[in-house]
Amino acid sequence: MKELIKGNIALCNGALDAGLNGYFGYPITPQNEVPEYLSRRMVELGRTFIQAESEIAAANMVLGACATGKKAMTSSSSPGISLKQEAISYLAAQELPAVIANVQRGGPGLGNIAGSQADYFQAVKGGGHGDYKIIVLSPNSVQEMYDFSYEAFGLAQKYRTPVLILADGIIGQMMEPAEFNKPKIDPNTPISADWALTGAKGRPPRSIKSLLMKDGALYEHNLELQKKYKTIAQNEIRCEKFLAEDAEIILVAFGIASRIAKGAVKLARACGIKAGLLRPQTLWPFPTEIISSFAKSGVTFLSVELNAGQMVEDVKLAVNGKCEVDFLGKPGGVLLSEQEILNRLQEIAKRG
């Protein structure tokens, strides 16, 4: 049965149903519902909740819990996610299955508390130091806040990698009917991971580290990581297609922008403009091949984002000069309207 619920609470429910053992967070708008809700639920369920002294500490508490094979999560919003990047680099290096949620707000700096998509680069290009990638899921509805949060734990465990849920203030704050229909995983399920730190009982000790000083060791480790990223890119790309097959103008949009873009596609079709939409649900791995398969002469791509133009660079890489790539976006936590997108579609259609 569907219930009317906030995106941030749906995110919590996804994590709870996935068997979350520990949540570690710090207050920041517009994600405060997450620590507030979990401060009650986790305690009621006999699980771990800590309001940490900083986003840095919260991320490192996650690092500790994940090293023991437990399911742990932290959440924040843009400035707080910047603080977590140190730990995220370590989590990637130590191959720890952490889940991190970024309910984005406007930036740079303290910015504002309006929903924004300005952290795309930080999320998909590696926000911390070193050669690494993390899986980035982009929900565009309250239902997907639940679904992706739940699935993030499975992906994290499967590949021993951090997974970032890149939401935004609008998806986080809005209410929408959603259904919490996934099988509830018991958080006390014994840990079978052959790498987890569970105490060296009846086996040699394990160490989980990222300092690899021996000649060639770091090089080898990096090659292994890259191999893993390739596997993830082969298996885990998700992309929604909407009226894209015969489209002459293909919008590419993620998260909240994709909902508005979809509305604009419908308006455009009603005006006789053959528009369609590709919505990456994974921002890394990016649906490069899918976008590329639609790139042919006579087609124009339009990347629609709530930033000054970030994903458009990946769209251009995917299109690789085969056709025109245009950008429409607004930075600073300002929202686009369907009408504004339609206006641009009409311009593009006119210029042919």
Least separation in angstroms between CB 24 and another protein: 7
- Binding region for another protein (CB under 8 A) out of 21-29, 154-162, 281-289, 301-309: 21-29
- What is the distance, to the nearest Å, from the Cα of residue 340 to the centroid of all Cα atoms in its chain? 26
The phi, psi pair for 102, rounded to 5°, reads -115, 105
Interface pattern 118-157 for another protein (x via CB under 8 A): ----------------------------------------
End-to-end CA distance of the chain: 47
Instruction: Pick one of 13, 31, 48, 102: the residue that binds another protein (CB under 8 A).
Output: 48
Which residue lies nearer to another protein by CB, 209 or 351? 209
Binding-residue total with another protein (CB under 8 A): 63
* Residue type for position 12: C
- Binding region for another protein (CB under 8 A) out of 158-166, 201-209, 301-309, 310-318: 201-209
Each residue of 333-348: b (16+ CB within 10 Å) or e?
Answer: beebebeebbebbeeb
Residue spans of alpha helices (H) in 255-310 = 255-270, 288-294
Restricting to residues 56-75, name those near another protein by CB under 8 A. Answer: 56-58, 60-68, 70, 72
Task: Please spell the DSSP secondary structure of 50-64, one letter per residue.
Answer: EE-SSHHHHHHHHHH
Interface pattern 80-99 for another protein (x via CB under 8 A): ------xx--x---x-----
Q: Does 343 bind another protein (CB under 8 A)?
A: no
Which residue lies nearer to another protein by CB, 251 or 318? 251
Restricting to residues 301-340, name those near another protein by CB under 8 A. Answer: 335, 337-339
**Residue closest to 133 by CA, chosen among 227, 253, 59, 212:** 227
Round to whole Å and give the CA distance between 143 and 178.
Answer: 5
Would you say 135 and 109 are in contact if contact means Cβ atoms under 8 Å apart? no
Which residue lies nearer to another protein by CB, 11 or 58? 58
Q: How many angstroms separate the Cα of 49 from the Cα of each of 11, 23, 26, 35, 134?
A: 16, 5, 11, 8, 24
Which residue lies nearer to another protein by CB, 24 or 286? 24
Contacts with another protein, residue ranges (CB under 8 A): 2-4, 21-22, 24, 29-30, 48, 50, 52-54, 56-58, 60-68, 70, 72, 86-87, 90, 94, 113, 169-170, 173-177, 197-202, 205-211, 256, 259-264, 335, 337-339
